[in-house]
Structure 1
Amino acid sequence: MTARRNFLDLDFDPLTPEQAEAWLAARGQASPFAYIVTPNVDHMVRLASQPQAIRAAYDDADLCLCDSRVLARLAKLADVALTVVPGSDLVAALFDRVLKPGDRVCLIGGGPDHVTRLGERYPGIVVLHHMPPMGLRTNPAARAAAVDFAARSDARAILLAVGSPQQELLAHEMKADGRVRGTALCIGAGIDFIVGAQVRAPHIVQKAGFEWAWRLASQPRRLAKRYLVDGPAIFPLVWRWKRSRGR
């Protein structure tokens, strides 16, 4: 595998979407546990002020893939070449081309309607669902229950749809537990796009790096603070990081 590339003190795997999909396809139900994180601008801004336990959850991921074209362009300004593998595309590839009839998927988060729609669209895939309570980040007992469910599910893929950084923390604890097999993906709202609960931006908008604006226009109440207030903090972070390395 190509050597990782450091940006904002996080090591990214410079895989293409096709290489990431091939990595997923090579892993089966009995594979030793591994997990994938897909940081975007929002993740990187929050990581700058998160405790070490959250940072460790990203550092220990088996694959760290850049989810954001905006983040990749900022990295390029700091002379770091990052490939982009959107998490939503990776989840779609998982269901469309990687999973086979009879494969088991453990979904942690989401809702019963997600399970129903997944069953309708992918009738050969067995979906096992666990819905943890709110406040997962500060509820060790609830996280332990989710880890136990994943271990008992005997699933090829474990989809963590409980938001960041809860999902990354949960994946890290699954790895430490030792009983879980298969591959976990920290997917955020990735299932929403698969089942049609949300609509992706047109491909031309994605390629231009304006998917964030599409999502903001679609959900202004939920995303305005993330994109317009919190997100711009990425610019001084990149400037300071680049300056500290003499780039």
Structure 2
Amino acid sequence: MGQDDLASKREFLGLDFDGLDTEGALAWIAARSAESPFAYVITPNVDHMVRLTQLGRDLRRAYTHADLCLCDSRVLARLGRMVNVDLPVAPGSDITKALFETGLEAGDTICLIGGTPAHAARLAELYPRLTIVQHVPPMGLLHDPAARAAAIDAAAAASARVTLIAVGSPQQELIAFEMRRSGKVHGTALCIGASVDFLVGNEKRAPRVVQKAGMEWAWRLASNPRRLAKRYLVDGPAIFPLVWRWAKKRRRT
């Protein structure tokens, strides 16, 4: 898919998803420079869509005002197909990896908001042709406007071509939204969650065959049940009644 597919928005569960797969998203991001007007990319998955129903107006706006909204989850894509919504899959981890490997040029600056100093050091080791600048914000960003403002100032000072916001949702989407409102930041921001852990090798992606089968969630659950059991086994199933109600409303209208 190409950039023309951006015109082909498809609404699902209250968000307008863009019709780009990983390759198309990479091309869209790679076409932008450090001087481009600020834009940000979000990659919602099942967890995000369930959480959206619990967010207030300002946090929902952080999702609905994104410049690029991509489907991160094959499970979400399959649920969409069940109700006749085509959602190309563009996992945030795949986009992040492709950016570092082929989408950026020697000398480009990457600003990492979040992670640990070890993350930045490992990225610099793996990709010496790139300049890595990091800002590590404190915990509790969602309720700390001053800390979010400091993160925005750090991104502005970095003048990076790409800013990676890795502080978890929904605070990373909120920071991206506030970056735009500040008018201080240029280039492209990606809300990447835990993608940097996969990139530096702290965590492993499921084998490709498991990913294509839509079972990466089970792979991750098995690898870290204590951390992920609630997300996948308690919170995640709430997506099914959400889809059912959305489809029912769509039929009526």
- Using the alignment, how far apart are the partners of 1:79 and 1:136 within structure 2? 37
Asked if 1:134 corresponds to 2:139, the answer is yes
Shift of 1:245: 1.1
Shift of 1:20: 0.7
- Using the alignment, how far apart are the partners of 2:201 and 2:7 within structure 1? 35
How far does the alpha carbon of each residue in 1:17-66 deviate from its partner, in whole angstroms, 9 at most, with x for none? 21111101100111110000000000000001110111100111000000
- Percentage of identical aligned residues: 64
Asked if 1:226 corresponds to 2:231, the answer is yes
Q: How many residues align?
A: 247
Match of 1:56 in 2: 61
How far does the alpha carbon of each residue in 1:175-217 deviate from its partner, in whole angstroms, 9 at most, with x for none? 0000100100000000111100000000000000000000001
Which residues in structure 2 correspond to 1:159-178 (within 5 Å)? 159-178=164-183
Match of 1:71 in 2: 76
Q: Which letter maps to 1:171?
A: A
SS at match of 2:184: coil
- Using the alignment, how far apart are the partners of 1:29 and 1:97 within structure 2? 17
Asked if 1:202 corresponds to 2:194, the answer is no
In the alignment, structure 1 segments of 5+ residues that lack a partner are none
Asked if 1:19 corresponds to 2:24, the answer is yes
Asked if 1:46 corresponds to 2:15, the answer is no
SS at match of 2:111: strand
- Using the alignment, how far apart are the partners of 2:143 and 2:54 within structure 1? 17
- Using the alignment, how far apart are the partners of 2:21 and 2:124 within structure 1? 29
Match of 1:28 in 2: 33
Q: Which letter maps to 1:178?
A: G
Asked if 1:82 corresponds to 2:90, the answer is no
Asked if 1:143 corresponds to 2:143, the answer is no
Shift of 1:2: 2.9
Over aligned residue pairs, what C-alpha RMSD do you find? Answer: 0.8
- Using the alignment, how far apart are the partners of 1:135 and 1:16 within structure 2? 33
Q: Which letter maps to 1:164?
A: S
Q: Of residues 153, 158, 161 in structure 1, which corresponds to 2:158?
A: 153
Give runs of ≥4 in structure 1 deviating > 6 Å: none
Q: What is the TM-score with the length of structure 2 in the denominator?
A: 0.96
Asked if 1:97 corresponds to 2:102, the answer is yes
- Using the alignment, how far apart are the partners of 1:124 and 1:34 within structure 2? 24
Asked if 1:120 corresponds to 2:122, the answer is no
Q: What is the TM-score with the length of structure 1 in the denominator?
A: 0.99
Asked if 1:213 corresponds to 2:218, the answer is yes
Match of 1:181 in 2: 186
- Using the alignment, how far apart are the partners of 2:54 and 2:78 within structure 1? 22
SS at match of 1:245: helix
- Using the alignment, how far apart are the partners of 1:22 and 1:135 within structure 2? 34
